[in-house]
Amino acid sequence: MKKQIGNALALYPTPLVVVGAMVEGRPNWVLVGHIGIIGHDRVMVSLAKPHFTNQGIRESKALSINLVDEAMLPKADYVGCVSGSKTDKSQVFAHQIGLTGAPLIDAAPVSMDCAVVDIYETPGFESFICKIEATYAEGAVLTPEGKIDYRALKPVLFEFPTYEYLKTGDVLGRCRHMGGSDA
């Protein structure tokens, strides 16, 4: 029998990302664990309203989403520990400027350059609804067909209730092939 545990958000873990945005004329980075897919070309990035990065995103209507792998985790964790309002984080990552004007992290195995198309506000949070304008991936994390191979990428996962970083696991099977139906 299941036990009622309140209104716990039970959708973790999620991929850990570093969001990049231009703030006051320079790149700023923030570690984000609240992201979501809302369509095949739309994503949502949810940030607490007081984040310094939010003002740059609101002004430029652009941000980057940079997937974190184990190699970049120490720097990613760092940008989540200090505020851009007090610390210049612009030099933490080598970067390029994307099509939207958002900074993209060179060391990220996958980066998405996004245009903000809407902002959805809830108490304490701003959720930026974004259209993916371009996705960039290192060759080492691509299949021969040019698709992202998450077994090679091995993105770090973030588990909110415990504030822990997790490694991705093993493949369990293929979608739409395990239930005995070709539905």
Cα–Cα distance for residue pair 60/57, rounded to 1 Å: 5
The total number of structural domains in the chain stands at 1
| pLDDT score at 181 | 57
Per-residue pLDDT reduced to its tens digit, 138-180: 999 999 999 999 999 999 999 988 899 999 878 788 888 887 6
Domain with 24, as residue range(s), is 14-166
* Residue 71 maps to a domain: yes
Cα 32 off chain centre by: 6
The pTM assigned to this predicted structure is: 0.93
Which domain CATH number covers 108? 2.30.110.10
User: Cα(82)–Cα(25) distance, rounded to whole angstroms?
Assistant: 19
The Cα 37–Cα 98 span in angstroms is 21
pLDDT above 90: residue 17: yes
Contact 30, 51 (CB under 8 A): yes
Q: Is residue 140 domain-resident?
A: yes
Taking CA 173 as the corner, what is the angle to CA 166 and CA 138, rounded to the nearest 5 degrees? 55
Least Cα distance to 110 among 78, 69, 74 occurs for: 69
pLDDT of residue 180: 67
Which conformational region is residue 129 in: left (phi greater than 0), alpha (psi within -120 to 50 degrees), or beta? beta
Q: For residue 4, give every residue at least 6 positions away whose Cβ sits within 8 Å of its Cβ, in sequence order, or none.
A: none
Q: Tell me whether residue 183 is in a domain.
A: no
Mean model confidence pLDDT for the chain: 94
Query: What is the percentage of the chain residues whose pLDDT exceeds 90?
Result: 86
Structural domain includes residue 174: no
